[in-house]
Amino acid sequence: MTVKSKVIVAAVALAISCFIVTNTIIKSQPITIVIDDEISITVHTPVIYQEREVLIVAISSFVAGISTVYLYLEASEKPSIEPEKRVPAEEYLFEPSPRLRDLDTVNTALRVLRGSRRRLLEIIIDNGGEILQKDLYLETGFSKAKISRILKELESRNIIQRKTYGSTKKITLSDWMKRGYDLKSREIRKIRYYSMR
């Protein structure tokens, strides 16, 4: 059953329950008129519910409460960000080498990069070529600004790709880095050029 159909069922259950409770509670009250020596007195007798009516009100109220809570939680639920399952390098569609560190493209990038750039790339590689940006803060201890600046630079070199992933970004190695073959000399020159800056 999909979420949309569950919401519809809960809304219908809420409407029916409210209708039943309202009809049971607002039933007509018996009125007693006493005529005594040409003086009429109207007496309202209190409503007394029978066991069946009390049971109907209790069950309907319970169903209405459950439906209301479900609809409230469904409406206020924020999209949750679940970490994606990491796919081992062997399962990529383009059949790369068993380990990312064995690829000539990755080795070239690691040889050329220095310091914190190299550290971030190593962490990305050690996590199967993909990681959430917020996890980089936890693993490196670098400031968010520093990590963002380095990732922007690595992205401009076409070493990584960043995609919005909820409130953070998902960092992945570029496809040409993962393939490890058909290495474009243009990409290596680009890496070397930027590392000299």
Does 83 map to a domain?
no
Question: In this predicted structure, what is the pLDDT of residue 137?
Answer: 84
The DSSP letter of residue 141 is -
Same domain for 59 and 100, yes or no, is no
pLDDT band, residue 146 (cuts 50/70/90): very high
Taking residue 123's Cβ as centre, other Cβ atoms within 10 Å add up to 15
Does 84 map to a domain?
no
Same domain for 63 and 101, yes or no, is no
Residues 165-176 pLDDT 10s: 888 899 998 888
Residues 70-108 pLDDT 10s: 888 887 765 555 555 554 444 444 343 347 777 878 888
Does 37 map to a domain?
yes
Residues 27-62 pLDDT 10s: 766 666 666 666 666 666 666 777 888 888 888 888
Structural domain of 107:
89-195
Same domain for 137 and 51, yes or no, is no
pTM beyond 0.85: no
Write down which residue in 29, 51, 76 finishes a domain.
76
Does 144 map to a domain?
yes
| Count of the separate structural domains present in the chain | 2
Same domain for 96 and 165, yes or no, is yes
Same domain for 13 and 61, yes or no, is yes
How many angstroms separate the CA atoms of 12 and 16, rounded? 6
Query: Strand 168-173 and strand 130-132: pairing?
Result: antiparallel
Same domain for 115 and 184, yes or no, is yes
Contact 156, 193 (CB under 8 A): no
